[in-house]
Amino acid sequence: MKILLPFVDLYDNDINHPMITGGAELFCRHLNNHFDVKVHQIPIASLKYSIRERNRISNDIIDEANEINADIIVSNFSGSIFSGAKLLESNIPIMILEHCMYPMRSIFGRWNNADKKGHSVCFVSKSQRNRYKETAKRLSQRLPSTKHYINPSFCEGEKPEIQDVEYDCVTIGRCYSGKYPFKLHDFIKGTDLNGLVITSKTDYDDNAYYEKNKNRDNTIWNQPYDVVMDTLGKAKTYFSTCDYETWGISSLESLAHGVPIILNCNKTGSHASENIPASSSHFKKIKNNDKNALIDAVKTFQVDRKEVQDMTWEKHNLESWKNNFTEIASMTIDKFNSKHKKKT
């Protein structure tokens, strides 16, 4: 299967840069490393280009897909370049994989147009799709009937050694108010707990939130992925501060290092990451923004870290991830070919 992969990074880094900006970027790297992929890099500034220029880039994506005889275009970003009307004119099937939550009316129009033209729309979790279903109802929009889910990550490389604990709790998240990484510091302030925030700042993030928190202690900024993972392995627990995660790659990475996770649930009492652990004993849920519950969870969480790690690696292995992606990509190709009466 030959894949054309449009790619954009908030820092304009290439797909193999040591620092990974977010979940969609990590997923793209996984695809590039484990499938036959041609990356089509797009500058971050293009998201603010004129409609004419954005359409030109969409045409460039289609042209390159044809030049390399791609079987499929895999689109992981929500801008019009990646899912708008111009790209959807493609004669090559497109699989749109939505990683985030964008409660905008326009996105439903793009998805339904894609579905109408024989392309596919996929999500990273049932929790994410249900939230889009609620949003569609509120906005009087239709959600495509697709129920395809692709795990955005897996346990990759060599299993790391279990490390000695240096931090009671760690969280990871870009520096903007949607992720609220500094919620960890706010919640454990005045206790004897040792927390660490691992974060990064881009020009496209929440500058007011950055200014408020840029001088916080026990915080590390803009570190390469390997440094982030090594530091994460030194945590007793990981706190997912964001209550509207769509999946939770950092939760998986924590479990893969033997670190149990604490999930800040939404107001319904659920969290998208609760389906990632291999055992219910590997995570705890707290009520939405319950500071005391977090403190108690950090202090009382006791697990066999090696068990957490081994069971996570068994559940989220590379072959299962590849099979999941290949199955849905093949369904996308078959659906498109059937729609356009092409021979596979």
Summarize pLDDT for 34-79 with one digit per residue, the tens.
999 999 999 999 988 999 999 999 999 999 999 999 999 999 998 8
Judge contact between 167 and 194, C-beta under 8 A.
Answer: yes
Per-residue confidence (pLDDT) for residue 344, from 0 to 100 = 45
Per-residue confidence (pLDDT) for residue 330, from 0 to 100 = 97
Per-residue confidence (pLDDT) for residue 21, from 0 to 100 = 84
Q: What are phi and psi of 100, to 5 degrees?
A: -120, -170
Q: Residue ranges of the chain with pLDDT lower than 50?
A: 343-344
Cross-strand partners of 40: 6
Instruction: Output the CA–CA distances (angstroms, integers) from residue 102 to 40, 55, 129, 251, 315, in the order listed.
Output: 24, 21, 12, 21, 29
Judge contact between 34 and 322, C-beta under 8 A.
Answer: yes
Alpha helices in the chain (DSSP H): 23-34, 51-67, 80-83, 105-116, 126-138, 183-188, 207-213, 225-232, 249-256, 291-300, 305-315, 318-339
C-alpha to C-alpha distance for 316 and 311, rounded to whole angstroms: 9
Per-residue confidence (pLDDT) for residue 137, from 0 to 100 = 95
- Other residues' Cβ atoms within 10 Å of the Cβ of residue 315: 16
The whole-model pTM stands at 0.91
283: helix, strand or coil: strand
* Cβ neighbours for 148, distance < 8 A, ≥ 6 positions apart: 120, 122, 123, 328, 331
Per-residue confidence (pLDDT) for residue 177, from 0 to 100 = 87
Per-residue confidence (pLDDT) for residue 277, from 0 to 100 = 98
Judge contact between 75 and 6, C-beta under 8 A.
Answer: yes
Tokens of 29: 């790297």
Instruction: Output the CA–CA distances (angstroms, integers) from residue 190 to 18, 183, 187, 243, 292, in the order listed.
Output: 35, 14, 9, 23, 12
Cβ burial of 49 (10 Å; 0-12, 13-18, 19+) is middle
Q: What are phi and psi of 37, to 5 degrees?
A: -125, 140
C-alpha to C-alpha distance for 32 and 4, rounded to whole angstroms: 10
Question: Among residues 284, 282, 285, which one has the least CA distance to residue 309?
Answer: 282
Judge contact between 276 and 247, C-beta under 8 A.
Answer: yes
Per-residue confidence (pLDDT) for residue 43, from 0 to 100 = 95
Cβ burial of 319 (10 Å; 0-12, 13-18, 19+) is exposed
Per-residue confidence (pLDDT) for residue 201, from 0 to 100 = 86
Domains of the chain from N-terminus onward = 2-153+318-339 (3.40.50.2000), 167-315 (3.40.50.2000)
